Chain A
């Protein structure tokens, strides 16, 4: 894809290594990339806790036509826009991230605990997760 053209349309983004880092407009950016550059597949969404209350979400897009990868990254606090209207596979990824990181995706109607039981306290992959005895955190 053409980086210069892309940079013209979305001003608040920068290239860092192989990643495009954006500040806002997640949904619009991904929609634009999908329709204009044939990135028809979302391989996965990677979440990583930055340790300062923010979470880095990395969207790995893939173009089956050109066999090309693209990574879009954004830092969010506790809320992010859901891209499940563009990619159905994002429903699964967002569910997982909601369970393990506690990021709420606005627009995803399926958000609930996935691996952890209902009523579990905390989000295990956050760096500030309190590791108590499981009997204490279960269904209290």
Chain B
């Protein structure tokens, strides 16, 4: 049979940004896939070498605009650990609160757009309705909806406020998530489109460096939050499923939102008891890190995110590198789409939760 080359993207709405996939088709089956990235490359790592630490801080949220707090936290954490700054309990609790709210917002957007990819339009509006509550709250505390720039070296821009809004959000959300599940999880069309599609076994997942929900939906209990110092006093169970397919990855994210709600209610309890807001801010203008190499990791919504900074004691890093989860998920497409039908390609790539600014950096 003759082969056909098909360009998917870069302007396809379901590539979630600008991802171009060069597919080779034999009939309706995909025989090879080659991702072409770089349309959103902003030179994040190159910029770091030119800017001082405080100048770079507002940029890091933009690596993944849907989960900006995670990258902010990573960057601040690296500086704090390098300079030996301890965070107070309240600051730590606030950071966990915002990270988990951000995780829910990110998963909600993924859910809406994933269902949109599959042809269901209404969940998109439901997901955005609930996400709006969270973004409104972010705007209230930081003045920004998405790229918040709220964490600073050694603490926060200002103390957290409007906690009744968070209480309201976690009161509303469980009901809404139940609604989504009633609408989607048992839906026969949804099941047919995702069950058994995009099988990712354990071996392949490790081999391709897949982390996060995608890995846990393949039956591996690996959550980097378990070793995270922010989450020391918080009890939660990583969501581990053994479906290995697109349906399991969907389920994993829904269950993870519920787990995040549990974490937030624990954090609210801590914040109720710990009222004293103290932080050890440093003068960022002459900030330098001691000579050496620093690596920090965090469990972001799209898998393990880590930062590497090599400092020579100058005002800006000698070398800064980001590791993002999506970059490896895009690489996985070369393997996971092989042998799949063309009409499943969008369902499979959508289920991996790829976001392009994170890939291109």
CB-contact partner of A92 in B227, B308, B331, under 8 A: B331
**A87 interface hit (Cβ, 8 Å):** yes
Of the stretches B83-91, B96-104, B124-132, B317-325, the one at the interface is: B317-325
Q: Which of B49, B323, B330 has the most CB of A within 10 A?
A: B323
**B65 interface hit (Cβ, 8 Å):** no
Q: With the chains together, A44 CA to B323 CA distance in Å?
A: 7
Asked if B306 contacts A43 (CB within 8 A), the reply is yes
Q: In the complex, which residue of chain A has the Cβ closest to the Cβ of B226?
A: A67
Q: With the chains together, A100 CA to B230 CA distance in Å?
A: 34
Taking chain B's interface residues, is the majority helix, strand, or loop, or is none over half, making it mixed?
Answer: mixed
Q: In the complex, which residue of chain B has the Cβ closest to the Cβ of A40?
A: B206
Asked if B46 contacts A87 (CB within 8 A), the reply is no
Q: With the chains together, A60 CA to B304 CA distance in Å?
A: 13
Shortest Cβ distance from residue A55 to the other chain B in the assembled complex, whole angstroms: 11
Shortest Cβ distance from residue A53 to the other chain B in the assembled complex, whole angstroms: 16
List residues of chain A with CB within 8 A of the CB of B152: none
A115-B41, A125-B46 in contact; A44/B306 too (CB < 8 A)? Answer: yes
Q: In the complex, which residue of chain B has the Cβ closest to the Cβ of A60?
A: B295
Shortest Cβ distance from residue B188 to the other chain A in the assembled complex, whole angstroms: 35
List residues of chain A with CB within 8 A of the CB of B361: 115
Q: With the chains together, A92 CA to B319 CA distance in Å?
A: 19
List residues of chain A with CB within 8 A of the CB of B209: 41-44, 87-89, 92
Asked if A43 contacts B323 (CB within 8 A), the reply is yes
**B37 interface hit (Cβ, 8 Å):** yes
Taking chain A's interface residues, is the majority helix, strand, or loop, or is none over half, making it mixed?
Answer: mixed
Asked if A43 contacts B206 (CB within 8 A), the reply is no
Q: With the chains together, A41 CA to B204 CA distance in Å?
A: 10
Shortest Cβ distance from residue B120 to the other chain A in the assembled complex, whole angstroms: 32
Asked if B37 contacts A125 (CB within 8 A), the reply is no
Asked if B306 contacts A124 (CB within 8 A), the reply is no
**B335 interface hit (Cβ, 8 Å):** yes
Q: With the chains together, A75 CA to B67 CA distance in Å?
A: 35
**A48 interface hit (Cβ, 8 Å):** yes
Q: With the chains together, A125 CA to B361 CA distance in Å?
A: 13
List residues of chain A with CB within 8 A of the CB of B295: 60
Asked if A115 contacts B38 (CB within 8 A), the reply is yes
**A46 interface hit (Cβ, 8 Å):** yes
**B207 interface hit (Cβ, 8 Å):** yes
Asked if A48 contacts B41 (CB within 8 A), the reply is no
28 A-B residue pairings within 8 Å (CB atoms): A40-B206, A41-B206, A42-B209, A43-B209, A43-B306, A44-B306, A46-B321, A47-B321, A49-B319, A64-B206, A67-B222, A87-B209, A88-B204, A88-B208, A88-B209, A88-B335, A89-B207, A91-B334, A92-B209, A92-B330, A100-B45, A115-B41, A115-B361, A124-B43, A124-B46, A125-B45, A125-B46, A125-B49
